[in-house]
Amino acid sequence: MLPSPEYTLDHTTTRPTPRLTSLAHGGGCGCKLAPAVLQDLLAGLPQAQAFPDLLVGSETADDAAVYRLTDDLALVATTDFFTPVVDDPFEFGRIAATNALSDIYAMGGTPILALALLGMPLGKIGTEEVQQNLAGGAAVCRAAGIPVAGGHSIDSAEPIYGLVALGTVHPGRVRRNSGAQKGDALVLTKGLDVDVFSAALKQGRLPDESYRAMIASTTQLNAVGREVTFGGVHAMTDVTGFGLLGHLLEMCRGAGLAARRRVRNVPVLPGAAALAQAGIATGAAGRNWASYGNEVALPDALPDWRRGLLCDPQTSSGLLIAAAPEAVGAVLGHARAAGFAQAAVVGTMEAGGGVAVIE
């Protein structure tokens, strides 16, 4: 098991340095506002209807904004940042950067540029830790083939890191989260459940092999999103802070459809189910369920721990893709060729509203 001290030693001195996760009230996408709170905050804000070249704005709770520049080129813009989900500052940077770039890929786009967003509690974290954080983010951007061209930093009470990410896409290849059609199959590219691992890490109960699986999953770029914008792929989103159920509900609302999900088909990261059964969970899972549980039908016999895996926040998780039956084989082929070994069909889109979960 990984140790869980409140302090580690600074790399350059004998000064005790607090664990990154001990400096934040939440971690990763679990520190997002609950869906119901966010909906209340955004209620009544005017839609951007006066801008005809704004192809995707805030009206469908999509992953990024898309603005048409020419008939053949559109700009994809997003920002994402959060508090630490792990204690290693380099890995924190890698995870946060991977998560931010995922929004570009989820729209079918290709990243071109990033700006760093940094908030650090100066005096509590050493210079080397901050440098390692920035280096981790830059390493992921290099792997994606883009520069970190600047950014902004503040002295904050909690450690925060993320990116402003810009990308491009052909307007005809944009994939919103609202385009699903009746009869579409739902493909999930990564296994759940990262934030159960993060909770176990904070408690010193995360096995080494699970930690390695967590890092591998959260730093795997969702670049396959730009490869699966062919015919028959109707909608796409990435699964993050609202959990699989929450982001699936956004897809259902946008399309005016319902979803039927087979819970046993949903892939989970190795060891996640055992940790959940042992009672390890995040508070954000409960907030998520309270926000949208009235729109979800669950089997009577479904245990609470399994429900938790479905609504637990995910940090830098996979893509959820709605594709016509004839396109599913190609989607799975691209995903598995790109290294998404756990990619699986987890449900279908149907007439109606809400989500029905079956065994």
Residues annotated as catalytic are 29
Cα separation of 290 and 177, whole Å? 22
Q: Which amino acid is at 273?
A: A
Rg (CA), the chain: 20
187 vs 350: CA distance, rounded Å:
15
Q: In the numeric block, which tokens belong to residue 169?
A: 């896409």
- Strand bridging mode 296-297 / 354-358: parallel
Q: Which helix (H) or strand (E) holds 8?
A: strand 7-9
CB contact at 8 A, 352 and 194: no
Cis peptide before 238 (omega within 30 of 0): no
210 C-beta neighbours (distance < 10 Å), count: 22
N-term to C-term CA, the chain: 32
Cα dihedral 189, 75, 28, 6 sign: positive
Q: Determine contact, residues 80/165, Cβ cutoff 8 Å.
A: yes
